[in-house]
Amino acid sequence: MSDCTELSDRMPDVALGRAAWTETEQRHLAECADCRAEWEFVTAASRLGATLPATDPALVSTVLLARLAREHERARARIRLWSAAGLAAAAAVIVALWTGGRLGGFGRDGGRGSSTPRVATAPVPPTPPPSPAGSTAIPTW
């Protein structure tokens, strides 16, 4: 195994403080540009998340379970609301069909008699006969 590979394998442990560079490894780092670039990358990656606050897994799971329970309850409330709306719509359709028989639609009498539409009428005055003299009527041939 080359020096570069050995150094690369030890970088995570050194970056996390679980090991330290030997004098030979430090000399190699000073001379090898590839290992130095890799070392900068590993140390930068090991610092990611270092500024985040420490979290308590038990607290996180408790908060998460509480939130899931609230979401579940909201979903059930929405289902109840839509079910009530569906029942109301079905009731409205039934009422419309039931009262439709009295208004000329389909009713309990099967559409006989009461299915005749009611139309409003008004008396029309009779038209006068055409006058023979000075008639402006259109001639017929």
Q: Which stretch binds Zn ion (CB under 5 A): 9-17, 26-34, 101-109, 116-124?
A: 26-34
Compute the least distance from the CB of residue 54 to Zn ion, in Å.
35
Taking CB under 5 A as the criterion, the residue among 14, 15, 32, 42 binding Zn ion is: 32
35: contact with Zn ion by CB under 5 A: yes
- CA torsion angle 64 66 72 76 (round to 10): -160
- Give the 3-state secondary structure of 8-64: HHHHHHHHCCCCCCCHHHHHHHHHCHHHHHHHHHHHHHHHCCCCCCCCCHHHHHHHH
Q: Which stretch binds Zn ion (CB under 5 A): 17-25, 34-42, 91-99, 101-109?
A: 34-42
Compute the least distance from the CB of residue 21 to Zn ion, in Å.
13
Over the Cα atoms of the chain, what is R_g? 46
11: contact with Zn ion by CB under 5 A: no
**With respect to Zn ion, which residue has the nearer C-beta, 9 or 71?**
9
Q: How many residues at the interface with Zn ion, by CB under 5 A? A: 3
Q: Are 35 and 8 in contact (CB under 8 A)?
A: yes
